[in-house]
Amino acid sequence: MNKWILASRLKTLPAAISPVIVGVSLAIHDGDFHLFTAVMTLLAAVLIQIGANFANDVYDFLKGSDREDRLGPTRATQSGLISPEDMKNGMWLVFSLAILVGFYLAWIGGWPIVWIGLASIASAIAYTGGPYPLGYHGWGDLFVFLFFGIIAVSGTYFLQTGVVSNESILFGIPLGALSTAILIVNNLRDADTDVKSGKRTLAVRFGKSFVKIEYIIMMVIAFAIPIYILQFWNEFSLYIILFLLPISIRLTQSLYFETGESLNFVLIDTAKFLFHFSILLSIGLIL
């Protein structure tokens, strides 16, 4: 069981959980909340994230991206803990469970949820698998921004209320930006080994300085969107997110000065930052 927990990469789950929390909180703010639907949405998001992690684990190994000189945490397939065949079976099992949960969500939300669910699973596999792996051609940042931000928040809100509001799209932007920031740190850490394995992330295509600036932009977007929304809302409780501003500055400094395996700590702290941001943003919405 421990090897499967390792392959699940529990520290990445805030990227799946956070947009659901914000989408539900926005629905509560607008006077609509369904607990069971919220729980099922959260379960589906976590299962898809774990399935994506399994897919990433096995396909990175098969494509030679997970090498012995990698700087990131231990990968189950690359280290020999789980065979490629078993990992693929685990991937399909988890995605099957996500589809089972998705039957209920599709009953609630109809065809839009069916297409979102299928697109999410397809993207999770295509990120590192298939003939044109998205993550190997520099498309990872865009897809993370969309699926872990705008689509996840507005989709969650839609399941609660039956509509997609402008605010649900706008509040998806900071969540997508911070999820992308997590990927940026990952790609920055692995840039040197990705060059050798032919993985053309933005850090490889445009250089490390480019993605460091991209990280700053993502942080600025995360704070700018709620402040922009405040121009039209009188929900001053949203200012609670500003308590995290010093932490974002410290994280940016760490990104610039840390190298190699030290970036693993920046990666973990960025994931924690996303989760704390979503909690404070949700508190601001509910108050």
Global pTM reads 0.93
Handedness of CA 184, 186, 192, 196 (dihedral sign): negative
pLDDT of residue 197: 78
Query: What would the pLDDT profile of 221-239 be if each residue is shown by its tens digit?
Result: 999 999 999 888 877 888 9
Nearest to 205 by CA among 188, 220, 181: 188
What mean pLDDT do residues 178-185 have?
Answer: 96
Cα gap 33→26, rounded to integer Å: 9
Query: What would the pLDDT profile of 152-161 be if each residue is shown by its tens digit?
Result: 999 999 999 9
> Which band of pLDDT confidence, cut at 50, 70 and 90, is reported for residue 31?
very high
CA 152 to chain CA centroid, nearest Å? 9
Q: Please tell me the CATH code under which domain 2-286 is placed.
A: 1.10.600
What mean pLDDT do residues 192-212 have?
Answer: 90
Would you kindly state where each structural domain of the chain is located, as residue ranges? 2-286
Handedness of CA 169, 175, 181, 184 (dihedral sign): negative
Distance set, CA 52 to CA 92, 108, 171 (Å): 10, 24, 24
Cα gap 144→129, rounded to integer Å: 16
